[in-house]
Chain A
Amino acid sequence: MRRLVCLCALSVWLYIAVFAFLVDRPLSIGLLRLELDQKTARLARLPSPKLIILAGSNGPYSHACAVLGPMLGLPCENGGIAVGIGLDDLFARYAPYIRAGDVVYMPMELQQYTASRAAYRAGPDGAILLRHDRWLLPALPADRLAGAIFCCSADDLLEALAEMPLSHAVSAGARLAGEYNAAGDRIDNQRGGAGMARIAARAAPAVADVQAGYGTALIARFVAAERARGVIVIGGLPTAVSTLTLTPALVAAIADVYRAQGGGFLVLANRSQYPPVDFFNSPDHLVQACQYRHSMAVAAGLAVALGRTLHPAPAMMFLVAAGC
């Protein structure tokens, strides 16, 4: 039995050493990290008051700072990265650069609310923390720390073995530059580009799951903290396929996450729902024309909520949006 225990301990020790110091995934996790760093750096540079869009990938795919910023007359950063990146991590990175008077618009994906604590432990940012940001590990709760230490599966190891040699041929920076504009909006979502045309709605979560979700608690804590610092926080519905059934009770439960903490909540006439054909490669990602059209609708709603003058959309964007 002693031999077996020693072998198991050696296995864990080697695992940690390999993922902390040896292998990396520069094209997947590395890309996320670079994106996170770029967005944080731009956020730090933008003057206040500014508009920040905070969500998962629904943020950059379905919302465009290139439209929202000019229409609201605010500098804008599209800070969404991807569902799965822990919101606690994301909030902690962005919070130092969000100041009183800034506007945070949060069209969080529905699964962000219902994400469990277990899902957070297994999130992809664990690999980033273990490989590159180990200095942040001691500040994490014990379960997140364990999740970061055991960040990676055997698939991830193989992925690393595929990515490490390919990273010399594929520049992560160049790839990001082809996917995002300077404000963090996704720009590679032209209709038909993904070669996938079967977008089906995700199932809507139960009201009770939203209310009890670990993600909900994190979002509510963030809203309360930012409101206390004088930041204007407005929640919103994520873009979704029109076949998704959004009950009034579900919308009310989501709105309550923000309103109960002193934030606002924006519900568009179409409840941010679009036909399946308007989506790019997932039920959270609009094609560019609809991304612009949706952003115009959001800008109009935010202008009312903020009491700001609504400027016309840039002519080029208007033309593109006409294709939706």
Chain B
Amino acid sequence: MLFNSRLFVFGFLPVACLGFHLAGKCGRRAGLVWLLGCSLLFYAWWKPVLLLLLVASILVNFVVGRRVGPGAAGARYWLLAGLGFDLGLLGLFKYGGFVAGNLGLHWGGVLLPLGISFFTFQQIMYLVDTAKGESAAAPFLDYACFVAFFPHLIAGPLVRPSHILPQLARLDICRARLAAGLEIFILGLAKKIVLADAFGRLADPGFAAAAHGLPLTLIEAWVALLAYALEIYLDFSGYSDMAIGLAAMFGIEFPVNFDSPYRATSIAAFWRRWNITLGAFLRTYVYVPLGGNRAGEGRQLVNLMVTMLLGGLWHGAAWRFVLWGALHGMFLAVQRVSRRAGLAVPLWFSWALTWLCVVLAWVPFRAAGWAAAMGFYRGLFGGNGVAIPVIFVQLVPALAHVGRVVPALPNLGDARTLSLPQAILLLGFGWFVALARPGLHRMGQGGRSFAVVASFAFSLQALVFQPFAVPFLYFQF
């Protein structure tokens, strides 16, 4: 079930909320039972059989979690067994096909369970934190709600057990912030169905053309890339906002997951603003255990690269994600080395370079494969020339000398005469929002009210009158 579907917004959510508040009158436990029931129904909606996997994963991790606490007999072995189980499950379902494919082996059509990366990482955090004594073993109902809580079950944010389990333990259903949560949900929904989906429609033709080996001209390639950079940001941050809003409606506070990442002035800062919870996970559970920055400069760079490679691979079982992770690892390493060398650049230059690196790195992330990515880069750097729609040449005749004049750009939007003016306006608006406006969680009451007025009717239009809900990009991860 998608957060942006009519079924969820007009059916599941009101029923889940109403039931939760009614059950809450009978106490916290009744509220949690209702919440768990709703969450399991939410998960089972797509493929009921996959519910067995989720339940098995919860049960195994709960049992193991009881045995890994500090001082427990054989805690270390139980922890290794638990981590082995989680990573094995993830490897089997998510990476089995990838590994087999690279070894030239046949791999049956194993279905990728929805959200397996997220609920597995949640539980890895639980096991490790419990073993380190940073999180207390929780009662089963609390634990099951922590993992299966539907707002973050499918696509995060990844929430530390020590952040959410105490909230579940002292859950006061009467104090759930219904209106505040609903407002955040509405604004997150607008980010997704009003903005992100619009940028998706702009980005898809360009990447599809590259996938088919068609030559992208300069403007087509840049429009598609700039649109995709906004699409993935607004799609995922919209999802995260919706999750935060939903959690608030059920009395739970989730951490902020995006903080205007495209305004970052360094790659390290980008990762403190982009998918913040994943960045924190990678830092705490991969980078630091590898040795972090405690084992010399060379080792630190290796640790950075390994962490980012794994971060890339976490996004999907494909080499293009590995390449994306490698690019970010390389950017981080270069930044670290240049800082150590005392290289100082103006802040605006640092921002522009960071932005350019991040945006260019989205190419392999989105492209269908290596050849498509290279073809796309060729277009971005003018290798396929410049084509200019005739409507622009009519307005500014000098543009005829800049490139080939065409009736419409065939790989831009819906390839109409007005596709480019519309794309320029849409991109201008999107990048203004991304760069010049404060993020949702930094907005004051006035800013949020304005955003609701500006977006609600468009959200309603898209929700009710679009023929189908476009899935979130991060669902595939």
Tell me the A residues contacting B by CB distance below 8 Å: 1, 3-4, 7-8, 10-12, 14-16, 27-28, 116, 118-119, 121-122, 146-147, 150, 152-155, 157-159, 161-163, 166, 169-170, 193-196, 198
Contacts and interface: CB of A to CB of B under 8 A. Distances in A.
Nearest to B409: A195
A196 B220 CA distance: 14
A196 B410 contact: yes
B370 interface: no
B425 A158 contact: yes
Given A4-B182, A11-B456, A119-B467, A153 B461 contact: yes
B467 A14 contact: no
Contacts of B461: 15, 150, 152-153
A265 to B, nearest CB: 29
Given A11-B457, A159-B422, A162-B422, A153 B198 contact: yes
B179 A15 contact: no
24 contacts: A4-B452, A7-B453, A7-B456, A10-B453, A11-B452, A11-B455, A11-B457, A12-B456, A14-B457, A28-B418, A121-B465, A122-B465, A122-B466, A147-B465, A150-B460, A150-B464, A153-B194, A154-B195, A154-B458, A157-B458, A158-B425, A162-B422, A166-B418, A195-B410
Nearest to A161: B425
Contacts of A150: 457, 460-461, 464-465
Interface in B440-456: 449, 452-456
B102 interface: no
A11 B410 contact: no
B209 to A, nearest CB: 9
Contact of A11 (B453, B465, B467): B453
Interface string B395-432: 10000000000111010000111100110011001000
A84 B402 CA distance: 37
A1 B179 CA distance: 5
Nearest to B424: A162
B425 A162 contact: yes
Contact of B462 (A153, A157, A193): A153
Contacts of A28: 416, 418
A114 B198 CA distance: 25
B418 A158 contact: no
A154 B198 contact: yes
B418 A27 contact: yes
Interface in B151-166: none
B178 interface: yes
Contacts of A198: 212, 214
Interface in B79-128: none
Q: Which of A154, A162, A170 has the most CB of B within 10 A?
A: A154
Nearest to B462: A153
A25 B170 CA distance: 55
Contacts of A3: 179, 449
B183 interface: yes
A119 B449 CA distance: 32
Nearest to B190: A154
A193 B27 CA distance: 71
Minimum-distance CB pairs A-B, first 5 = A15-B457, A11-B456, A162-B421, A1-B179, A150-B461
A14 B407 contact: no
A193 to B, nearest CB: 7
Contacts of A170: 391, 394
Contacts of A196: 410, 415
A166 B179 contact: no
A155 B407 contact: no
Contact of A153 (B183, B408, B410, B458): B458
B178 A1 contact: yes
A154 B410 CA distance: 23
B384 to A, nearest CB: 14
Interface string B182-211: 110010000000110010010000000000
Contact of A158 (B394, B429, B453, B454): B429
A11 B454 contact: yes
Given A11-B455, A155-B201, 12 more contacts: A1-B179, A7-B453, A7-B456, A8-B186, A12-B457, A121-B465, A150-B461, A153-B198, A153-B458, A166-B391, A195-B406, A196-B410
A10 B454 CA distance: 9
A12 B464 CA distance: 13
A147 B464 CA distance: 9
Contacts of A161: 425
A230 B465 CA distance: 38
Interface in B209-234: 212, 214
Nearest to A27: B418
A299 to B, nearest CB: 31
A11 B458 CA distance: 9
A198 to B, nearest CB: 7
B156 to A, nearest CB: 26
A116 B467 CA distance: 9
B198 A155 contact: yes
B192 to A, nearest CB: 12
Contact of B449 (A7, A159, A162): A7
Contacts of A163: 418
A7 B182 CA distance: 12
